[in-house]
Amino acid sequence: MPDFRVPVEDYKFLFRHVFKMDENYSKLNCDNDFSLDLLDTILDEAAKFSENELAPLYQSGDEEGCVLEDGVVTTPKGFKEAYSKFIEGGWTSLTGDVELGGQGLPSSVSLVVNEMLTTANWAWAMYPGLSEGAVATLESHGTDAQKNDYLPRLIDGRWSGTMCLTEPHCGTDLGQMKTNAKPNGDGSFSVNGTKIFISAGEHDLTENIVHIVLAKLPDAPKGTKGLSLFIIPKYLPGESGEVGKRNGVYCGSIEKKMGIHGNGTALLNFDNAKGFLIGQPHDGLSAMFTYMNVARIGTASQGVAAAERSYQGASTYALERLAMRSLSGVKNPDGPADKIVEHPDVRRMLLTQRAIAEGGRAMIMHASEYADTYRNGISTNERDQAEQKLGFFTPILKGFITELGVEAANLGIQVFGGHGYIKEWGMEQIFRDSKIATLYEGTTGIQALDLIGRKVLLDKFKQLKLFSNEIAKSSFKNLLATSVRINIKGIKASAKLLKLALKWRYIALRIALRAKTDRDEVGSASVDFLMYSGYVYMGYMFMKMSQVANNFSGDTNIDFYKNKVLTANFFFDKILPRADMHASSILSGSQSVMAMPNEYFSQ
């Protein structure tokens, strides 16, 4: 696999010029001494760590995998040493509360660093990544005592965190959960049950693992309204904060998975494990959503990571591999064949990968502005508005970008041809790793139902109207501006995006009207609606990036800005038209999906 290089210039372009994040940072209730110059230093150093410490372990970690012996999971060679360097560098504390040992930086900074880590070594990055959700959950819902007991050690990286939801008999349908918690009479609870698919559930990187666990109290109502949330550490905290007595949580096995072999995805047995209630009884799911929403945005960045890593491998190969002659004439007369990058279909695949990586990265950066305000906004009204916007964006980001990440990883294999199917090159590993992102934290279908059901229909189209109006107004303004400059591609792109933004609300209304007589219309249209939403959102990002790049004047790398415009042109010509296909599918209704009896599928 070619050497991985972090696209630092792209991050700086987005932070500085497209979203002007310093303006948003100045309005936040956090470290207002934070500057873009400091951000540049963070990005540069994170890039060095990702390239030099993590990327070399990517393939070897996959081949070696994790090993469970006598209840102890050993991570692949080099993982523990890399983690020690990671916490020594203070990377786990970037966004933590200053009073608890953190650096108090905005969430957007951590999201970008996490994308670098994930692109360099997906399985490794999940270990510290899971801890961030645990920190966010305790910050929002923990008692002062719980915060003091756990947050300093989670923030400095000595301890790590997990999220424990899924059980053998139920995945997303948490109402079927059987794990139970009984009061001990001293404020603690005795928890019994089994959880599966727990990423980073057991490992040797930290001295303690703090599990955030959903379970049912004895008087719990039926369904999801009866779930409570608990802290269950592997080792109970000692009186002075050190690791104390071993708790009753044990690793029964590690999953034999399609990918991310370097991560200890565990089956955990809770055997009279001592747990501590987070928040109110029976209100665990709402508290857990704090964790899940953090995780879902992080998962969206995994889609970007898959596209970026696969693109870098495929583009390097395409510039070296010789095969056949170009249809438009010989390009390498001194060689036996031309480079495969000369062939239009190879270029199509490479450009699709690049557009997915750059467009997805911009989407996450855009949403991270609202994540920053939600977490550190000065007024309650600002935080509430940001939470609502972020709630609308989250299922689009998670569902759409991860699906495109898999597509990009698949194209990476295709560029290599038969060599892409061979482990030596590492392209098939990216594909195997990428698939999990469409599954955990809620499958694409679950994200789609959340978007159309809760975030559009139950919201009475409020956030959809606000965002589609923003895109439509921006497109119309850009349409007028580009027409003066006689930029034909800019005119077409803005006109297309304007049309799609207005159509977005129309197709949502059609779904709502049809659902009054047939509820299956919602489920039938949901994934198409999510993908349509994603393409419009990504189109908006490419329009913003193209605007900035077209108007940029300076003595920096002009090729970077030219390439940004060329990638945007490709997106509008070759990828954005997919939105029309999804719209046609939505408007065709649910009849062909639901007409067959169940027996049809047994034949």
Task: Just list the catalytic residues.
Answer: 441
Q: Which two tokens stand for residue 149?
A: 């007991």
Residue type, position 349, single letter: M
Helices (H) and strands (E) in the chain, counts: 20, 11
86 near 206, Cβ under 8 Å? Answer: no
CA dihedral 529, 535, 537, 541 (to 10 degrees): 180
- Going by C-beta distance under 8 Å and a sequence separation of 6 or more, which residues neighbour residue 526? 445, 448, 449, 451, 452, 453
Q: Residue 233 belongs to what H/E stretch?
A: strand 227-233
Cβ atoms of 307 and 361 within 8 Å: the answer is: no
Report yes or no: 279 and 229 within 8 Å, Cβ to Cβ: yes
Q: Tokens in use for 114? A: 């996490």
End-to-end CA distance of the chain: 44
What does the block give as tokens for 323?
A: 């095969």
Q: The dihedral of CA 208, 212, 217, 222: what is its sign?
A: negative
Q: What's the helix, strand, coil split of the chain in %, to 5? A: 60, 10, 25
**Which one-letter DSSP state was computed for residue 300?**
H
| Distance of alpha carbon 538 from alpha carbon 540, whole angstroms | 5
Question: What would the two tokens of residue 269 be?
Answer: 């047995």
Measured distance CA(506)–CA(464) in Å, rounded: 11
